[in-house]
Every structure is written in C-alpha cells, then in structure tokens.
Amino acid sequence: MKPLIDKTAEDRHIDKLTAKGIMLLGATPAPALPNAFPHVLRYERFGRKGQFCRILKTSGHLAQIEFTDGFKAFVNRAVLVRR
C-alpha cells in the first residue's frame, strides 16, 4: 500500500532547506532571531542605519552582509557593531 503523501526527492530537499532557514524564491522570510543577526549597521548606508544584519563573508576590511529582509551588500567592517 502506498503512503497517502508521496513526496518526490525535490520536495524532500525543499523541506530540508526550509527547515534549515534557507529562504526560497517567493517565500516569506521567517522572523529573525537575535542570534541569527548579531550585528547592527551603525552608519547611514543604503538607508539602513540601525538595522540588524549578519556577516556572510569577510576579506580584509570588507564584509558581505545580509539584512533580515534578505538584502545583501558589501561594506567596510568598521561600520558594523556587535549587539
């Protein structure tokens, strides 16, 4: 007898990604946890002063950051403050 819900491999992969908090196209962002976005932008860049963000990559004084709404940018690490 077949199970009532037969998920394909792709559906199971999507379920794993959403369980890990990876946002898919067209999905609404999950509420940000304080530990997930531990930095604050302290200067007026992109009109986002005071917003929470996290560092994705760093190289020297440069950092790629992501804000709670998914917007990504490259900034100088000096403009970030750990909360």
21: left (phi over 0), alpha (psi -120 to 50) or beta: left
Q: Is the pLDDT of residue 26 over 60?
A: no
Convert the pLDDT of each residue in 54-65 to its tens digit. 999 999 999 999
- At the second CATH level, the architecture of 29-82 is Roll (2.30)
Outline where the chain has alpha helix (H): 9-19
With b for 16 or more beta-carbon neighbours within 10 A and e for fewer, the 18-48 pattern comes to: eeeeeeeeeeeeeeeeeeebebbbeeeeeeb
Integer angstrom CA distances of residue 35 from 24, 52, 54: 21, 10, 9
Q: What is the mean pLDDT of residues 56-82?
A: 93
